[in-house]
């Protein structure tokens, strides 16, 4: 995304935050491709037979975004971080509903990106990932948010730094620590399920 497009997004978000519905409506064509990329990134980790498509994920996330009363968007990175968080919740809800429909059968699986996964690429249960991320957030809210922004949001170190208001060095340090903790928890969850 170019600088001009990023600046336009920031202006539209600022206007939307002031209650300008026209700015909100003008925003979607500008951000749609980026939201689709974000959705494809999240769905790429899912099983090939996943029933939720990227367009449906984008549409549901957008509907949830526009239902917010007086959002206070900081900038483009903040908007996409919130969109990624909503997509995460949609995917987890979808997995839980599917699991409930199958009366406890295996939930859709998610393959972690190479930075999160152990050396061998591993598929994990999206519900287990959400549960582990919730536990991490309860212990250390900053690390939980960081994992959410980097993994689900696909934000870079610098974008995460801006959204969270911390230095890039702190993001790198917290990212490394949180990844290790999350890997350990996911291994424990997997071991509990097999025993």
> From the CB of residue 131, how many other CB atoms can be counted at a distance below 10 Å?
15
* Helix H or strand E segment including 16: helix 3-17
The Cα–Cα gap between 187 and 181 comes to 10
Q: What SS3 class is residue 126? A: helix
For tokens 């995304």, the residue is: 1
Per-residue pLDDT at 183: 87
Per-residue pLDDT at 118: 45
pTM of the model: 0.64
Per-residue pLDDT at 15: 92
Number of domains in the chain: 1
* Helix H or strand E segment including 77: helix 76-101
Domain containing 149 equals: 3-194
* CA within 13 Å, CB half, 117: 13
| pLDDT tens digits along 32-66 | 888 888 888 777 766 666 677 788 888 888 888 88
**Can you count the helices (H) and strands (E) in the chain?**
8, 2
The arithmetic mean of pLDDT across residues 14-18, rounded, is: 91
| pLDDT tens digits along 114-164 | 555 444 444 557 788 888 889 999 999 999 888 888 877 778 898 888 888
């Amino acid at each position: 995304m170019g600088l001009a497009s990023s600046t336009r997004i920031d202006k539209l978000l600022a206007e939307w935050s002031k209650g300008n519905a026209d700015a909100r409506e003008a925003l979607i064509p500008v951000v749609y491709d980026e939201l689709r990329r974000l959705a494809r990134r999240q769905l790429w980790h899912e099983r090939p037979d996943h029933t939720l498509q990227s367009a449906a994920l984008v549409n549901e996330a957008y509907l949830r975004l526009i239902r917010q009363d007086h959002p206070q968007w900081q900038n483009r990175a903040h908007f996409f971080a919130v969109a990624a968080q909503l997509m995460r919740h949609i995917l987890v809800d979808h997995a839980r509903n599917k699991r409930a429909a199958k009366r406890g059968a295996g939930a859709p699986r998610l393959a972690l990106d190479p930075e999160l996964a152990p050396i061998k690429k591993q598929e994990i249960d999206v519900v287990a990932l959400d549960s582990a991320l919730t536990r991490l957030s309860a212990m250390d809210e900053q690390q939980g948010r960081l994992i959410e922004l980097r993994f689900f949001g696909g934000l870079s170190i610098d974008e995460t730094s801006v959204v969270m208001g911390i230095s890039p060095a702190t993001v790198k340090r917290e990212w490394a620590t949180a990844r290790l903790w999350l890997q350990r928890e996911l291994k424990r969850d997997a071991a509990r399920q097999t025993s």
